[in-house]
Amino acid sequence: MKVCVITGGGSGMGLEAARAMPNDRVFLLSGRTQSKLDRAAERLKAEGKQAYVMTCDTSDRRQVHELARYAASLGEVTNVIHAAGLSPSMADPEKLLRVNALGTVYVNREFAKVMTKGVIVDISSNSAYQLPKIMIPRKTYCLAEKHEQAFLDKLLRMCRLVKDSYKSAGLAYALSKNFAVWYAQKSAFELGSRGIRVCSISPGLIATDMGELEKGEGASMLKYTAEKRMGTPEELGFAIAMAADERNGYLAGVDILVDGGSVNGKNA
C-alpha cells in the first residue's frame, strides 16, 4: 500500500492537500497536537480515506526519525508533504529557524532513508522572495546539515540586528523559508538519481488559521495579487496535491509560487 505522509496535516493546507490527494493510499498525518490530528483523521475517514496519525515535532530529529519508521511500517512511503511550520506571530526567531529550516532538513533526510522512490514537497512561503539577493546567506545555508549550531548562530545574528521583535521574527521567517526553497532544490539534485523527486511550493497569504493570524501584516501584499484577495486552503491543497502526485513526474528541483501573483505584482 502507498503511504502519503503529511507533516502539519492536522489543519490548514496540509489537511486540504490530503483531501485533494487520490484515495488509493494510506494517509499519515503528523503535528504536535493529538486532538487536532484525531479530528483531521476523522474527517478524512468520513470522506473515504484511510488515515493514521502520529504526533511529531519536526524540530526534533529523533521524532522525525520515528515518524519515518512508523510511516514505512504502514507500507511504501511514496509521498511526503512537509507542511509543518510556524509564522512570525507564533514564535521567536530561534524557534522559527529550528522548525521551518532545520525541520525541512530532518524531514527530507529522514524520509529519504525509508523511501525507494516517490515525491517530497516542502512548503515554503512567498516570504522567501522578499529578501534582497545580497541578504541571502548561501554559505550559511551550507552549514545546516553538519554544523547546526553555527547555522543557527549566524542566522540569529542577522535577526538580532533588527530591533523590533515582530520584524526580527519576520526576518527569521523569511530566512527560514528562503532556506526551505534552497534546501528542496539541493535535495532534488541529491535524491533524483534514486527516483525521489523533490520540489517546493511557496504560498502567498492563505486563509488558514496561520494566515488569519498574520493577515494584519500580510495584507500589504494583497494589493499586488491579481485578484486582490487571500488564497483559500482548498486552492493550496489542490496545488500541493498536484505537485505531490506521482503523475507529475517531471516537476523537480523547482519552487512553485502559488501566491495569486503577489511577488510578480510587487516587482512589476
Ligand X SMILES: NC(=O)c1ccc[n+]([C@@H]2O[C@H](COP(=O)([O-])OP(=O)(O)OC[C@H]3O[C@@H](n4cnc5c(N)ncnc54)[C@H](OP(=O)(O)O)[C@@H]3O)[C@@H](O)[C@H]2O)c1
Query: Which is nearest to 253 in space by CA: 187, 195, 194, 196?
Result: 187
Does 99 engage in binding with ligand X (CB under 6 A)?
Answer: yes
Least distance from C-beta 28 to ligand X, angstroms?
A: 13
59 binds ligand X (CB under 6 A): yes
83 touches ligand X (CB under 6 A)? yes
Nearest to 121 by CA among 13, 241, 260: 241
Contact 179, 145 (CB under 8 A): no
Interface stretch with ligand X, choices 28-36, 144-152, 159-167, 238-246 (CB under 6 A)? 28-36
**Among positions 25, 51, 57, 140, the unique one binding ligand X when judged by CB under 6 A:** 57
Q: Would you count residue 258 as binding ligand X (CB under 6 A)?
A: no
The answer to whether residue 12 forms part of the interface with ligand X (CB under 6 A) is yes
Cβ neighbours, 10 Å, residue 117:
13
Please, what is the minimum distance in Å from the beta carbon of residue 128 to ligand X?
9
- Site map 194..233 versus ligand X, x via CB under 6 A: ---------x-xx-xxxx--x-------------------
Chain-centroid distance of CA 226 in Å reads: 24
# residues contacting ligand X (CB under 6 A): 31
3-state SS class at 41: helix
**176 in contact with ligand X (CB under 6 A):** no
Least distance to ligand X, CB of residue 82, Å = 8
Beta strands across the sheet bearing 50-55: 50-55, 26-31, 2-7, 76-82, 118-123, 196-203, 255-258
Are 246 and 25 in contact by the 8 Å Cβ rule? The answer is: no
Q: Which is nearer to ligand X, 26 or 258 (CB)?
A: 258
User: Exactly one of 32, 61, 65, 266 binds ligand X (CB under 6 A); which one?
Assistant: 32
**121: contact with ligand X by CB under 6 A:** no
Given candidates 6, 51, 54, 84, which one binds ligand X under the rule CB under 6 A? 84
Write out the E strands in the chain.
2-7, 26-31, 50-55, 76-82, 118-123, 196-203, 255-258
- 8 counts as binding ligand X under rule CB under 6 A: yes
Residue 113 in grid coordinates? 532513508
User: Would you count residue 19 as binding ligand X (CB under 6 A)?
Assistant: no
Residue 217 burial by CB count (10 A; 0-12/13-18/19+): exposed, middle or buried? middle
Residue 110 sits in the site that holds ligand X (CB under 6 A): no
Determine, following the binding rule CB under 6 A, whether residue 184 of this chain makes contact with ligand X. Answer: no
d(CA 230, CA 228): 7
End-to-end CA distance of the chain: 47
User: Where on the chain is the footprint of ligand X (CB under 6 A)?
Assistant: 7-8, 10-14, 31-33, 36, 56-59, 83-87, 99, 123, 125, 203, 205-206, 208-211, 214
